[in-house]
Structure 1
Amino acid sequence: MSLDRTVMMFAGIMVLISLALGFYFSPWWFLLTAFVGLNLIQASITGFCPAAIVFKKLGFKTGVAFE
């Protein structure tokens, strides 16, 4: 799996987890959803993505978005 797809999958999983936590436990967990969304916007504008850096160090092959 490429780095790009891994980052998108990780972001999607984080959104779904935070939505479930916000629904079942506390609405404060929705802040995690907002953080993930803002990070996606920031990464699309600047090209800097902390998750991509971590996954790259873990050995995922670079895709076209995070070269």
Structure 2
Amino acid sequence: MVAVTPSRLRHNGDLIVMSPSKRSWQASVEREELEEAFTGFLQEAYLRLTQYSLKLAMNPVIQRFSVSG
């Protein structure tokens, strides 16, 4: 299992910069690329949850994950 540490995200022009709170390095990605990755993740999570249980598809919280693309 991978340990997840808190990170900081900040906007720098067209880039989103992420830096962990306990280390001195940082990574950056174009905003559009990060949005596409998040959208893909949400779509996949929604599909898997709703395929697992039809009752989950009716849940208003789960419905928020539905992303029209």
Whether TM-score is above 0.5 comes out as no
Point out the structure with the larger helix share: 1
Q: TM-score, normalised by structure 2?
A: 0.43
Q: Answer 1 or 2: which has greater strand percent.
A: 2
- Which structure has the greater CA radius of gyration? 2
Q: TM-score, normalised by structure 1?
A: 0.44
